[in-house]
Structure 1
Amino acid sequence: MSTSSSPVYLVGVDVGTGSARAALVTGKGEVLQTCVKPIQTWNTQPNYYEQSSDDIWSAVCECVKNVTSGYAKEQIKGIGFDATCSLVVLDGQMQPLTVCPSSKDNQRNVILWMDHRAEEEARFINATHHQMLNYVGGSISLEMEVPKLLWLKRNMHDAVWTKVGAFYDLPDYLTFRATGADCRSICSAVCKWNYDAEERCWSQDFLQTIGLVDDLRVDSWRLIGTHVANPGAAIDGGLSRQAAQELGLNPGTAVASSMIDAHAGALALLGCEGPPGRAGDGGSLTSKMAIICGTSSCHMSLTKRPVLAPGIWGPYKHAIIPDLYLNEAGQSATGVLIDYMLQTHPCYDQLLKEHGGSNGKIYAFLNTFLDELAKKQGESSVHRLTIDLHVWPDFHGNRSPLADPNLKGMISGLTMTKDVQNLALIYLALMQALAYGTRHILQVLEASGREPITSILLCGGLSKNSLFVQTHADICSVPVLLPSEPEAVLLGSAMMGAYAAGLYDSLELAASGMGGSAKVVKPDLSDSTRDYHERKYRVFQRMYLDQRGYERIMKG
């Protein structure tokens, strides 16, 4: 790390599903200031979710000004951006162009990552069985960008497709606004746009097969990106004068090539270590899995050699660390699903009044309630309370490893009871189901030749829930590490800013130098607990087979 007599700072920017955030971070990874501003989402019909790039940028500027207020601009050396993998559409003048079929409002120019309008297009692409699909587990997700591009061509050809000046992944749009330079990150390109990372080029054959090549390869692929850089690479020129004024920083401040939000979180998590001298708590970069668990969950792991796993995205070369391969799995609904189960239960309003008016306080109450219930019933483990209550958690489809957006959620064991105990047990069974989903992902990766995962690192809202954390440790039979710095995603973006500014010689060194330490949560490896979860996991797997069986029966 470069040294200086005066302190230096980095800014990390994170745009999530519902808000923009910024953090001021030291060169050693200490988060000093944070700020959050909400962003608007339109959801005027089922499966359609839209945002505004101008609204997002305005929120980013407010946040950056807030966290840097009172600090000398000269001391702020770099800025990194991450965001959701949402699709930004601009016209020929690089101004917002609507993506809403029912509105001419050009402010609605972002198709949010969780928008599911492109189901038919994803099905069409998957039916080609093109070899590029091997890098997305054999099946492209309707949440990725290429199906959404095809949807726009098919459904908004005159209104949008013929007027487009550029398509951006949201993280790359932020660096475009910051610098004016048309630089795309290989993180977004390879993970969400089917870019060929091995050859470092767009696959003409793939795009020809699905009917997009003639539209997209004009002017050396100008619409989707001519220059593709590694994450964290400094973008020529740094911060533009206009962006510097909007952000309250100096022109020329180093700007890093971006990452997707979950990937920035993974960078910070994978650079984090357990306490020294604790066997099994740290491990090499390639023996860990990072799980970023918020609205949805993303499961990230790195390997030295490519691993092709069915239903799991990747291997993506260079997506986080140069020359390492990323496998990316996930669950489409986690935090949002727990909130949904809570808020739709008959006793929710009662609990809301009794426990401080926030879901977080209700979860803390339910965790304590379950511990006391287990003791009252003489159970050695809280997990045994759900012996006859089971959940299949794909209420918003399955991202990994089954890669089926049409799968539905299931609950077995419901009664007419609607009291607090009933809610607590459903909540526990859902926590277990989400952890069984993670175990399923690990199982498929290891069956595909990946070396065993020896530790899991968690960040995001659910990492603050002790029941969620311990349940993952017990069901996956590995230690779970919780970073001492909880703002992992913001920290990951700041790491990119530090590398771009030259504070570290590589992104990997920035991660290890700023990653910090972690608290370790050990799994319960007792025979009784492992046997119980083994049996419940068999039920979990059977529920999927049963759902498929029901489909076959109803199709005749």
Structure 2
Amino acid sequence: MSYYLGIDVGTGSARAAVINDNGEIKGYAVVPITTHHPMHNIYEQSTQNIWNSICQAVHDAMATNDLKGQNIKGIGFDATCSLVVLDKQGYPQSVDEASEFTDNTWNVILWADHRAIEQAKRINDTRHAVLQYVGNTISPEMEIPKTLWLKENLPEEKWNAIGHLMDLPDFLTFRATGSVARSTCSLICKCSYLPRGVETNLPEGWDRDYFEAIGLECLVEEQWKRLGGNEQDEVLHAGDRVGNGLTEQAALDLGLLPGTPVGSAVIDAYAGAVATLGASSSSSSSPLSNRLAIICGTSSCHIAMARQPIFVPGVWGPYHSVLLPDMWCAEGGQSSTGQLIDYTLNTHPAIQQAKEKATEKGLNIYTFLNEHLAQLQQQRGLDYLDQLTQQLHVYPDFHGNRSPLADPTLRGSLVGVTLDQSVDDLALRYLATLQAIACQTRHILESMNQRGYRIDTLCLSGGLCKNKVFLQLHADVTGCQVVLPESIEAAVVIGAAILGAKATGNDDLWQTMCRLTRAGDVILPRQDKNIQQLYDRRYRVFGELLKDQKKYREIMDA
């Protein structure tokens, strides 16, 4: 039996999972990572802290079934799309303005960091043709606005000292193998790279005019050396073997064998797609274009595939060959989902009382609130739990809108708030937040289908998918069936392990996905006209809240 190791670096933790040839988990561990958050829009991390957490997670996962280094035949990585800054020797270089860029501990600008909003706006104001591949609007969460921020804010000598600007997934394969090869996923999705064949007048994969127009002509002059991808053999497809496998030092750190194959990494959302789209397919012959993979975590990402490019304003992409060669991906997303739910709970006066009651019953807070909602429904004599929030509404863009509006300046709102500070009110706000997140998924879905997609199936994964109310709402609000992977919470890290399996064999990635993944439960939308009409009305309110926010801005800006 062969085993494959997957390593996932999310916003708050590093996870490791070992799967066998049947796709079964044989080891799993989670270790937290540290985030430095000195200001509301600044989020920084440390590559050394991340690597230490990875190593601990791998050792813990391997110990589960007393696995040895020689048992692991391939390794895959995924991570958040965060910008890593290294000096010319490959050591961490500070991105921390608070320390005047002297504290090299903090050398990662996290995806959620919005310091580059002004730079993103100026890039978008150019209306350059390259922007059509990010829904016509680049996000401050992407690497090029962040790079421009560094150029404009670092002292000149520190900017010139930078040797590598890497998306975090590519840094992990660099740390593991010593190879500076970049992945198509990171370069195309987050670094404004256009692969050969997409734009025939761009033999390098980079658009010189674009970088000159946005103020990064220095990268043109150096042939994009710091960004990478300036030579054809430096850009790899998902799961392609990187370099010569694990270096001796990385093998020693991880407790594995030097030379163990390492697959080219992907962004964490795409690892979730790797683990779910194949599992939900009725045929292993080709991907199904009616599927939307939704990876639900701190934020949520929505990934669809098509054989031809489909341009959707406000939705990132279409991206060519970032997951499967010759397939086009589109990526929608919500900047704050799990984070928004936690914010709703933790800012309510009754949260401590609710947690104590949940502990008394041996429940987590979400299961407790779901049960409390069912009790409220019964007490109030309602036909549906969904009616509890008839006059309570949330607009969910507390951290800006990623898709389909691509407006990081949008904010959230609450309508229908009372003076109630009880657990009842906490439960209602929680439900209204879940409903708002589902309505926004419908907004993204409708925007994609209006442009040519035919999505009728949602392939969900991530920790939020353990919440039955959350799942049923997504089915009811969108009218789509929801398909879950066999392993819900570990789907993303399993996707990384599949990349490791791809690096060792002759199968293409789609065949490997279908072989190593299996579908779990299927949730269908309720065929009840009252429910359908209720959510049609609620979705109308969702749209009106958005219009109102824009109207209020116009009034105040005048």
Q: TM range, normalised to the smaller chain?
A: over 0.9
The Cα shift of 1:356 comes to 1.6
Equivalents in 2 of 1:326, 1:358: separation in Å? 44
SS at match of 1:221: coil
* Matching of residues 380-399 of structure 1 within 5 Å: 380-399=383-402
Question: Is 382-391 or 127-136 further displaced after alignment?
Answer: 382-391
1:102-128 residue CA offsets vs partner (Å, 9 max, x unmatched): 211111111111101001100100000
1:427 aligns with 2:422: no
SS at match of 2:23: coil
1:493-536 residue CA offsets vs partner (Å, 9 max, x unmatched): 0110001011x510001110011122111111211111111111
Residue equivalent to 1:212: 216
1:75 aligns with 2:77: no
Residue equivalent to 2:293: 290
Residue equivalent to 2:275: 268
1:125 aligns with 2:132: no
Q: Is the 8 A contact 1:352 1:358 kept in 2?
A: no
Equivalents in 1 of 2:309, 2:363: separation in Å? 40
Q: Is the 8 A contact 1:283 1:454 kept in 2?
A: no
**Alpha carbons of structure 1 residues 122 and 360: separation in structure 2 relative to 1, 3 Å:** farther
The Cα shift of 1:62 comes to 1.7
Question: Is 45-54 or 468-477 further displaced after alignment?
Answer: 45-54
Q: 1:51 aligns with which of 28, 38, 45?
A: 45
The Cα shift of 1:223 comes to 4.0
Q: 2:148 aligns with which of 138, 147, 150?
A: 150
Q: 1:236 aligns with which of 226, 230, 243?
A: 243
* Matching of residues 468-479 of structure 1 within 5 Å: 468-479=470-481
Residue equivalent to 1:177: 175
The Cα shift of 1:222 comes to 4.4
**Alpha carbons of structure 1 residues 376 and 121: separation in structure 2 relative to 1, 3 Å:** same
Q: Is the 8 A contact 1:18 1:40 kept in 2?
A: yes
1:449 aligns with 2:452: yes
- TM-score under structure 1 normalisation? 0.95
The Cα shift of 1:295 comes to 0.6
Q: Is the 8 A contact 1:216 1:223 kept in 2?
A: no
1:389-442 residue CA offsets vs partner (Å, 9 max, x unmatched): 111111111110011111111111111111121111111111111000000001
Q: 2:253 aligns with which of 246, 257, 277?
A: 246
Equivalents in 2 of 1:223, 1:284: separation in Å? 31
The Cα shift of 1:273 comes to 2.5
One-letter code of the match for 2:524? K
The Cα shift of 1:72 comes to 3.3
Q: Is the 8 A contact 1:472 1:480 kept in 2?
A: yes
Number of residue equivalences:
543
Q: Is the 8 A contact 2:7 2:77 kept in 1?
A: yes
Question: Is 364-373 or 16-25 further displaced after alignment?
Answer: 364-373
Question: Is 261-270 or 350-359 further displaced after alignment?
Answer: 350-359
The Cα shift of 1:157 comes to 3.5
Equivalents in 1 of 2:342, 2:3: separation in Å? 36
Equivalents in 1 of 2:476, 2:132: separation in Å? 32
Q: Is the 8 A contact 2:276 2:519 kept in 1?
A: no
1:158-202 residue CA offsets vs partner (Å, 9 max, x unmatched): 253111011111100000011111110000111111110224712
Question: Is 339-348 or 159-168 further displaced after alignment?
Answer: 159-168
1:225 aligns with 2:229: yes
Residue equivalent to 1:317: 320
1:458 aligns with 2:460: yes
SS at match of 2:30: strand
Q: Is the 8 A contact 1:81 1:258 kept in 2?
A: yes
The Cα shift of 1:360 comes to 7.0
SS at match of 1:395: coil
Equivalents in 2 of 1:419, 1:118: separation in Å? 40
Q: Is the 8 A contact 1:30 1:485 kept in 2?
A: no
Q: Is the 8 A contact 2:398 2:411 kept in 1?
A: yes
Residue equivalent to 1:374: 377
Q: Is the 8 A contact 1:87 1:113 kept in 2?
A: yes
**Alpha carbons of structure 1 residues 255 and 268: separation in structure 2 relative to 1, 3 Å:** same
Equivalents in 2 of 1:308, 1:418: separation in Å? 46
One-letter code of the match for 1:320? L
1:242-269 residue CA offsets vs partner (Å, 9 max, x unmatched): 2111111111111000001111011111
SS at match of 2:172: helix
Residue equivalent to 2:487: 485
Question: Is 102-111 or 123-132 further displaced after alignment?
Answer: 102-111
**Alpha carbons of structure 1 residues 109 and 374: separation in structure 2 relative to 1, 3 Å:** same
1:86 aligns with 2:82: yes
Equivalents in 2 of 1:494, 1:217: separation in Å? 38
**Alpha carbons of structure 1 residues 221 and 409: separation in structure 2 relative to 1, 3 Å:** same
Residue equivalent to 1:3: none
Equivalents in 2 of 1:537, 1:522: separation in Å? 19
One-letter code of the match for 1:88? V
1:301 aligns with 2:343: no
Equivalents in 1 of 2:106, 2:363: separation in Å? 32
Q: Is the 8 A contact 1:116 1:143 kept in 2?
A: yes
**Alpha carbons of structure 1 residues 250 and 291: separation in structure 2 relative to 1, 3 Å:** same
1:11-48 residue CA offsets vs partner (Å, 9 max, x unmatched): 00001111111111112211111111111111112211
1:508 aligns with 2:506: no
The Cα shift of 1:204 comes to 1.6
1:101 aligns with 2:105: no
Equivalents in 1 of 2:173, 2:214: separation in Å? 29
SS at match of 1:407: coil
Equivalents in 2 of 1:21, 1:531: separation in Å? 41
Q: Is the 8 A contact 1:90 1:96 kept in 2?
A: yes
The Cα shift of 1:287 comes to 1.1
Task: Extract unaligned runs of 5+ from structure 1.
Answer: 1-6
Q: Is the 8 A contact 2:334 2:402 kept in 1?
A: yes
SS at match of 1:11: strand
SS at match of 1:32: strand
1:438-497 residue CA offsets vs partner (Å, 9 max, x unmatched): 0000110011122x2121111111111111000000001111112111211111001100
Equivalents in 1 of 2:360, 2:5: separation in Å? 33
**Alpha carbons of structure 1 residues 209 and 220: separation in structure 2 relative to 1, 3 Å:** closer
1:353 aligns with 2:356: yes
**Alpha carbons of structure 1 residues 283 and 523: separation in structure 2 relative to 1, 3 Å:** farther
One-letter code of the match for 2:205? C
**Alpha carbons of structure 1 residues 37 and 370: separation in structure 2 relative to 1, 3 Å:** same
Q: What is the Cα-based RMSD across aligned positions, in Å?
A: 1.8
Q: Is the 8 A contact 2:181 2:228 kept in 1?
A: no
Residue equivalent to 1:404: 407
One-letter code of the match for 2:74? G
- TM-score under structure 2 normalisation? 0.94
Task: Extract unaligned runs of 5+ from structure 2.
Answer: none
The Cα shift of 1:209 comes to 1.2
